[in-house]
Amino acid sequence: MGFGLTWRASVKECVTTASMSVLINGSPSKPFKMKRGLRQGDPLSPFLFVLVVDVLHMMVGEAVRNGRVSPLLVGRDMETILNYKRLLRGFELMSGLTINFDKSNMISVNCEQEWVTSMCGLLGCAEASLLIRYLGIPLGAKCKPSVGEDLETDHRQGER
């Protein structure tokens, strides 16, 4: 991605030199170094995540340009699905991150149920419909009126 040696060394220093202490019976313990990972709430964490996921984005773009995967799966394209899984496994090996397929879902539109079930088994993920929740927000559902309209409706009903 073109980051210089000094910048990379600075980021590595931020991540690897952090020390922690915990409260034991109300008193702080001796500081200790973390073995791996970032501290929860570390302001650097979202930035590093975006950088790593940008690499995944570039990998998918390259696979699309080379014809190994299709941005839209049309029909019963098992090879494309297998190539997506290979690509994600390669990303895992390269980045050190792990994709939890048990928590992942496959969303299909107008596909035969038998095919969807077999693909979910192949990928090791669950099937979901377009009516899903992401970060607590329903997606694919009919849009609700704005909060202002809800308040106005509630207010008018209270006047009766």
Helix (H) / strand (E) element for 124: namely none
82 CB-contact burial (10 Å; exposed 0-12 / middle 13-18 / buried 19+): middle
Average pLDDT over residues 63-76: 76
Domain ranges, ordered by start, for the chain: 1-37
Who's near 69: CB < 8 A, 6+ residues apart? Answer: 60, 63, 80, 83, 84, 87
52 or 18: whose pLDDT is higher?
52
Which of the four pLDDT bands, split at 50, 70 and 90, describes residue 158? low
Pairing of strands 126-128, 105-107: parallel
Q: Dump pLDDT digits (tens) for 20-59.
A: 788 899 888 998 877 766 767 777 778 888 888 899 999 9
Burial (CB count within 10 angstroms: exposed 0-12, middle 13-18, buried 19+), residue 119: buried
pTM for this model (two decimals): 0.60
Residue 61 confidence (pLDDT): 92
Examine the pLDDT at 91 and tell me if it is beyond 90.
yes
Q: Is the dihedral of CA 54, 101, 41, 95 positive or negative?
A: negative
Of 85-89, 90-94, 99-103, 110-114, the range with the lowest mean pLDDT is 110-114
% of residues, the chain, pLDDT over 70: 79
Q: Tell me the C-alpha distance between 152 and 94, whole Å.
A: 53
- For 58, the enclosing helix (H) or strand (E) is helix 44-65
